[in-house]
Structure 1
Amino acid sequence: MFKRYIVIAFRNLQRQRLFTFINIAGLAVSMTVCLIVLISVRENFSYDNFHPAASRTWRITTHAQTPDGRKYHMASVPLPMGAALKNNYAAVENEATLYGVLNGEGKIDKKKIYISGTFATPSFFEVFGFKLAAGDPRTALVTPNSIVLTAETAQRFFGTNDPMGKVIQFDRFGSFIVSGVMEPAPSKSHIDYEAFAAMSSVPSLEQSKVLPDKLNNWDQVQSSYTYVVMRRGEKLSALESALKDQAHRYDGLVQKGQGSMAFEPQALSKITPSQELVDDIGGTPPWGKILAEIGVALGLIICACFNYTNLSIVRSLQRAKEVGVRKVNGAQRWQIFLQFITESVIMCILSLIMAVLLLLLMQATHFRGLPVPDNNLLEPRLLMLFLLFSIVIGIVAGAIPAWALSAFQPAKVLKNLIDIKLFGGLGLRKTLIVIQFSLSLTAIIFLVTVYRQFHYKAIKDMGFYRKDILNVPLADADFQRMKERMLQLKDVGTATASSGTLGMPRHCNFCVIRTGESKDRMEFGYYAGDVDFLKVMHLRLMAGTTFPESASAEKEQYIIINEKAVSVMGIKSPADAIGRTLFLSDSLPVSIIGVVKDFNFQPIEVNIRPMAIRFVPAEFHQLQLAMLKGDKEQQVADVKKIWTAMHPGEIFTSEWMDEQLGSRDGREVVSMLGFLVFITTLIAALGLLGIVAYTSFTRRKEIAIRKVLGASAAGLLMLLSKNYIKLIVIAGCIALPLGYISSLLFLQIFAYRVSTGILAMLGSFLFLVFLALVTIFSQTWRAIEVNPADNLRND
């Protein structure tokens, strides 16, 4: 029986080739997006599922409020928190603390590799269950200056050689002996560091001032993370009570109006997907992104299913007599229903094959329109999941037309097909068309706004110079010596050493500053730069001067601030600020030597805030070369020659500043949105195509009679099209305010933004009207061109 159903299904698909292709293509494009989301969601929920005692493991988070009322929910806690909980509360069975500041270049012989690492307590492996391929997990993190590497990091450093006992040298932290190599984790973890060093190394680093005093400091929260394992049978309330007890340390802050701090447990299973806490670790996806992906996928597949239903009805109405004949010959309703469901499932399986081929093509061509996963799409378990997904979609999409068409009365369909009414007429499908085109127009308006905003971001003058500046890493070279060597090149105009690139997120550091007259502390953003920093970046001095050539490299003496900082400190003018003393971290006095005009030292998502430029050579990470106009490739080659001579055996990297900032211009976001908008609009057009084809088919005798009575082609075209044009206008009336609101909400992300653009909205609407008219006229004109005699012939 099923074999006969399959044969009939393929015959019908082959007979209606164009209709079949449109149907399969529409479903396939939607399924492509759904499969990407399916893989992504599957991976996002595979984090942290291998840790022992996961149900009893909690991460401690911090709720902090600043004196000016700003509130932060932070993933980090004070560094002493773990030991305090383990030693003072019987309900806590074990704890593990991470101090994620072990970042920098690790060196073995002449090989240097950047490492993102953390200091960890010896209980780390016991709490999280990571396995070691080499070394003893009980002792690997006990001895000071011992370090455990991930398998990938060990491979990068040592290749196939045995890494155990080898020494890795950090410029800042000193030497560490490899005491273990981790096995690859069974699945993903939010703890994604490349190296884990013994926490017992921290005291000596604090004594030598390499690290700030945090081991016994309850006032510093950043970069330290505490996890606790509760004893069996202990309730969460016991941990909450302990955290409230620890929060009493900050009662004095509340009484003095200096803010507040409180602590909250977070279940290990709730860390991923991320709640987007401040100072979190790992690149885990946030809940908002996952829900948005699921919402887009569901919306697309629901629209595609409805379109499939519409198009199936149009095609199936032409087979209504077949249904009548089969029923006269004794076929039961469930058999006919099963026939149409079989055809629907086959259609979806064919769409699945096309969708997988599309994904493979995207992987091979590195398509940027969607975040195509790197997974092996031909993995048997994944293919089975895809197949199950397509069968479910086929049943859902085919159920409505199968149920309706299997209910045809033989006498009625064999007598007059025109009188058949499905689902109470066209109201439901007209409503669907309005909804689909409303969504399409809203998406188009939103896309245009996103494009305009990111284009504005790419060309906006941020108040500093960004063209023809080549960023070159200092590595371990002396900045002054390397600067002198680079200035010998004929194409290098000026050069400066700096801690990072202006305008790049996370390149800006932060410090706490107070004035001599007040005990109130203020948070400033800052960049470290040398005496030529203002000159290279074209920053305008409003008062004072840049750093003097005699500035000390060991002890900080001077500071340059912006106009916003002058205003926040209550100083009347930039000139009045010159010579005043500020205190860094409450104790280091520095003198204001200059005030620069405000500029966007952070991305345009945020307003200009108080900032400083400091002369701290220890924080210089790169040399920024202002190049003259010329052959950029040759200029980079000349710079590379000098750099390689100063760093023998190391790999040279460089980046043009405008390209570095341009990498954040949102091109990938716009490409992805554009692709999704294209799919949404395509689905809406296919839905409109289906309903126009359906009505043209059912009104074919009316059209023939009107033509016989002398109706013109233009009149018939308007008669058949005016109702659909009304639907598009209604969709426009709904979508224009929705597009305006969604665009307005998006633009609120940016402190500096474009207007919503009424002309852009009207242009989007006219584009959609044009697309709809092409779709409508293509079907109505086809119906009008048919010879009236063919339609009036006696059936």
Structure 2
Amino acid sequence: MLKNFLKTIIRNISRNKFYSAINMAGLSIGLVCTILITLFIRDEYSYDKYNLKHDRIYRIGSDFVLNGNRDRTATSALPMGPTFKQYFPEVEEYVRFIPTRKQQIKYQNNDFYEEHIAYTDSTLFDVFSYNLIKGDPKKALTQPFSVVLNETLANKYFGDEDPINKVIWVDDTYKFTVTGVIKDIPSNSHFRFNILYSISTLVEQSGEDDFNTTDPIAFWNISYYTFILLKENHSIDQVEKKFPLYYEKYMTDFGEQFGIDFKIIFQKLPDIHLKSDLNWDAPTGNIKHIYILMVIAIFILSIAGINYINMATARSSKRAKEVGMRKVVGAQKENIFRLFLLESLSLTFAALIIAIIIVELILPFFNMFLNKNMVLSIFQTPDVILSIIAIALFLGIVSGFYPAFYLSSFQPVSILEKRRKARSGNKLLRQILVVCQFTVSAIMISGTIIVITQLFFLKNIDMGFDKENIVVAPIRDSSLRVRMDLFKTELKKNPNIEAVATSNSLIGFSNSKTVHLYEEANGMKEYALNFNVIDFDYIDLMNLKLIQGRKFSRAIKTDSTSAFIINQSASRKFKWGSNAIGKKLQFGVAFGEHKDVRSGKVIGVIHDFHYQTLSTTIEPLSLFISEEPEDRDVIHIKIKKNKQSESIAYIQKIWKSFSPNHAFHYSFLDDKIDKRFKTEERLTLIFIIFSVISILIASMGLFGLSSFMTEQRKKELGIRKVLGASTNHIVSLLTQEFLKLIIISNFIAIPIAYWALNIWLQDFPYRTIIHAWVFIATLVITLIIGLFTVSWQSFNAAKSDPIMVIKYE
């Protein structure tokens, strides 16, 4: 019987090539999207799970409130790792990471500039499952000035030579010995390092007592990444319950003195990539994007399934005689039901095979676009293979169930009598399904418009400072830092260079934060304030707007030692209003032996500007001058418009004369700021692609349905033409029904899209407004697509010879 079923299915598909091709194409495209989305979601959920002990590894984060200002960070204090191991019997081991800036690495006569560098503990290999392919994991990071390289860098530096015990120079200052080579950290890791120095290097440089101090103030320098490994059969809840006693022992003195409310955050390692919302985190994914992609996959598959149901029910009258004949010769309803359901499943699995072939062809480009290494293989991703087979099975059953039930219910005696009723009885269902298809498509289109609008809004927001034609570069050479004033003078001799300034952090990205004391009616009060150390030229170069007081001046000596400029947010926070000038402000707090503070007064207030990323609102900020060489981390050089190439050449020449051993690695500030929007740009492109696909599949179904309905009405159209109906009238008659359905679908889509997009926009502190024109544009787009899809068939039908049609009928 199965053999007979398959023959019948193949015969029916071959007899109806046009409609079968529409269904096959829609199902294939839908399954391609689903497979790609499934691979992406699988990869996102696999982050950090290559670590054999991932279910026992937790990162320590910090949640603290100072004077109503709350900070939740992915970092913790340096002493927490070792003291956690001592205090909590549940903790088996710890490891810390101290990331550092991009550095110059020199081996023999070859210079390299590397990033993704960190200092870490020798316990690294006890906690994480990193594969050390050369060296001893017990000794690799124990000695000062020892370094572990990843495999890629080891091959780049040493080629076929054995890298162990080779010596490299860092920034022409420190000599490190290679003690290990680690296999490249997998791409599905929320953090990846190319170079790992031993943390004992910092201990030797700072001194044992200073680096490993457990003074209360050390627990409030929250700047380091700490991971703990729990012992087997122990819960993080046990540690969390005991933490108040730990806090009382190590942290309470400082916390109570300054009124800080502190809570510990424990994040399970596999949850960090998708679920972390902490500041100072490594680049992470977004669980909401996963949910969005899941919904998109469901939408696209639904549209493809609806195509099949529409075409099958529309063509029911064509197959009524076949059903009647089968029942006359003895076929049971169950047999016919299985036949039509098997036909749906066969078409779906044929589409699945086509989809897998397409995925294999486009997966390399998909990986390149997302910077991933996803594969579709029965050996490497059997779970994905089984999932998509299950999805195809479900899709085939759902798509074919109603048509199979509907067609198998025909009675052989009354088929001819009820043919008209059979054809019109499912008309309402087809209309509902078309509305569902275009509702989904309208939601996708309006979503795409909003995503594009939000990206445009962010990229064109007024940052509050000039970002055009500003070259920025890190300063790595200590000798250049010392001679910075002379270097700046040489640069400004070129008429194409308008200004040069230095600071300790890059504007538009992030800043350091520390406790300040500010003046209020009852004395000095504490506040955790962002700050940036700058030079005298910085404010003018960045074109920051002064609204009170004055700028820093070289003519006033105290400006470099005791003057502050704050932003509007700080003035509002401190409730100084228009009386900020002359108010007392202190950088840092004195506690115990810690006396490194800077006291002074506010000399100016500047207009708020986005000195951090746009993912946060503008927070209070203090600026102050430092002429210390170690505070010169970033140089900013403003050049004239359209003079980039000659200006860069001149800067490189001067740079080389001042810093011959360090190349000039630069970027333009506006380019660096634009690169922050990569996630939004990718999401925008994904929305555009999937919106086009959804409307394409829906249009294919509408095209097939309109073709069939036009064919069914040939006699009616012929009579209308004989009676004098014009071509325009017939085209209007055939298209208006579908256009009405598209209009209805848009009105259904508007509240759904508005609700969903509002939720998505809540993630952005700075966001666009959802205007009515978004939904008007969506309506126009869907109407144009629907009109173009239907009118072509309608026009052909209207132009046909009515005599031939009536004669044929």
Partner of 2:500: 495
- Superposed, 1:370-769 pairs within 5 Å as 371=370, 373-375=372-374, 381=380, 385=385, 388=389, 391-392=392-393, 393-394=395-396, 396-405=398-407, 408-409=410-411, 417-421=419-423, 425-476=426-477, 477-478=480-481, 479-503=484-508, 505-506=509-510, 508-515=511-518, 518-541=523-546, 542-548=548-554, 557-573=562-578, 577-578=581-582, 580-586=584-590, 587-591=596-600, 592-616=602-626, 617-648=629-660, 652-664=664-676, 666-700=680-714, 703=717, 714-769=728-783
CA contact (8 A) 2:148 2:181 kept: yes
Conserved? CA contact 1:214–1:220, under 8 Å: no
Query: 1 CA distance for matches of 2:491 and 2:410?
Result: 85
Indicate if the aligned counterparts of 1:81 and 1:226 stay in contact, CA closer than 8 A.
no
Q: Matched residues in 2 for 1:443 and 1:209: separation?
A: 60
Counterparts in 2 of 1:130 and 1:556: CA distance versus 1, 3 Å: farther
Separation in structure 1 between the aligned mates of residue 210 and residue 494 of structure 2, nearest angstrom: 36
**1:77 CA drift (Å):** 3.4
Give a deviation string over 1:91-123, Cα, whole Å, max 9, x none: 44x111213234441532452433434443333
- With over 3 angstroms needed to count, the CA separation of the structure-2 counterparts of 1:577 and 1:211, relative to structure 1, is farther
3-state secondary structure, aligned to 1:70: strand
The question of whether the paired residues in 1 share the 8 Å contact of 2:344 and 2:396 is answered with no
2:357 counterpart letter in structure 1 = I
Structure 1 residues 21-32: aligned runs within 5 Å: 21-32=21-32
- Pairing partner for 2:353 from 349, 353, 366: 349
Quickly say closer, same or farther: Cα 1:133–1:293, change in 2 above 3 A: same
Find the aligned partners of 2:303 and 2:297 in 1 and give their Cα distance.
10
Correspondent of 1:96 among 94, 97, 101: 94
Q: Shift of the alpha carbon at 1:409?
A: 4.9
What residue number does 1:777 align with? 791
User: Shift in Å at residue 714 of structure 1?
Assistant: 4.9
After TM superposition, give the deviation of residue 168 of structure 1 in Å. 4.2
SS in 1 for 2:116: strand
Mapped partners of 1:464, 1:40: distance in 2? 38
Query: 1-side partners of 2:565 and 2:272: how far apart?
Result: 40
Q: Show the counterpart of 2:228.
A: 227
CA contact (8 A) 2:722 2:802 kept: yes
Structure 1 CA distance for aligned equivalents of residues 227 and 778 of structure 2: 51
In the TM superposition, residue 667 of structure 1 has moved relative to its aligned partner by: 4.3
Could you say what secondary structure the match of 1:573 adopts?
Answer: helix
Q: CA deviation at 1:126?
A: 1.9
* SS of structure 1 residue aligned to 2:220: coil
User: Within 1, Cα distance between the matches of 2:605 and 2:123?
Assistant: 50
Alpha-carbon shift at residue 531 of structure 1 (Å): 1.9
**Count of residues paired in the alignment:** 781
Map 1:256-295 to 2 at 5 A.
258-263=259-264, 265-281=266-282, 283-295=283-295
Distance 1:649 1:408, change over 3 A: farther
Work out whether residues 24 and 348 of structure 2, in 8 Å CA contact, stay in contact via their aligned partners in 1. no
Give the structure-1-normalised TM-score: 0.85
- Distance between the aligned counterparts of 1:601 and 1:409, measured in 2? 75
Aligned partner of residue 138 in structure 1, secondary structure: coil
* 2:183 counterpart residue number: 183
**How big is the shift at 1:68?**
0.4
- Aligned residue for 1:142, secondary structure, equals coil
What is the letter of the counterpart of residue 260 of structure 1? D
Q: Which secondary structure state, in structure 2, belongs to the residue aligned with residue 601 of structure 1? A: coil
TM-score, scaled to structure 2: 0.83
Could you say which residue in structure 1 is the equivalent of 2:593?
none
User: Structure 1 residues 610 and 272, CA, compared in 2 at 3 Å: closer, same or farther?
Assistant: closer
The 1:419–1:543 alpha-carbon spacing in structure 2 relative to 1, beyond 3 Å, is: same
The residue matched to 1:502 in structure 2 has which SS? coil
Which whole-Å CA distance do the structure 2 matches of 1:458 and 1:189 have between them? 29
Is the 1:105–1:114 Cα contact (8 Å) retained in structure 2? Answer: yes
Compared with structure 1, are the counterparts of its residues 743 and 335 closer, same or farther at alpha carbon in structure 2 (3 Å cutoff)?
closer
In the other structure, the counterpart of 1:138 is 138
User: Shift in Å at residue 611 of structure 1?
Assistant: 1.8
**Gaps (5+ residues) in structure 2?**
591-595
Q: Deviations over 1:433-470 (max 9, x none)?
A: 32332333333333333333433433343332222222
Q: Aligned AA for 2:300?
A: L
**Cα separation, 1, equivalents of 2:206 and 2:519:** 27
Deviation at residue 514 of structure 1 after TM alignment: 1.4
Question: Unaligned 5+ residue runs, structure 1?
Answer: none
Contact 1:348/1:390, CA 8 A, preserved across alignment: no
Say if 1:547 and 1:558, in contact at 8 Å, map to a contact too. no
Distance in 1 (CA, whole Å) between partners of 2:88 and 2:613 is 45
Evaluate the alpha carbon distance shift between residue 340 and residue 118 of structure 1 in structure 2; reply closer, same or farther with a 3 A threshold. Answer: closer
CA contact under 8 A between 2:132 and 2:181: conserved in structure 1?
yes
Go from structure 1 to structure 2 and tell me whether the alpha carbon gap of 1:34 and 1:782 turns closer, same or farther (over 3 Å shift).
same
Q: Tell me how large the CA RMSD over aligned residues is.
A: 4.1
Kept after mapping to 1: 8 A contact 2:344/2:399: no
C-alpha contact (below 8 Å) 1:563/1:596 kept by paired residues: yes
Secondary structure at 2:651 match in 1: helix
User: What amino acid is aligned across from residue 294 of structure 1 in structure 2?
Assistant: M
Q: CA deviation at 1:755?
A: 3.8
Counterpart secondary structure, 1:577: coil
Letter in 1 for 2:700: L
Whether the 8 Å CA contact 1:9–1:343 is kept in 2: the answer is: no
CA contact (8 A) 1:469 1:624 kept: yes
Q: Which letter maps to 2:597? A: L
Task: Return the alpha-carbon distance in structure 2 between the equivalents of residues 58 and 123 of structure 1.
Answer: 15
Letter paired with 1:297: A
Q: Determine the C-alpha separation between the residues in 2 that align with 1:305 and 1:495.
A: 62
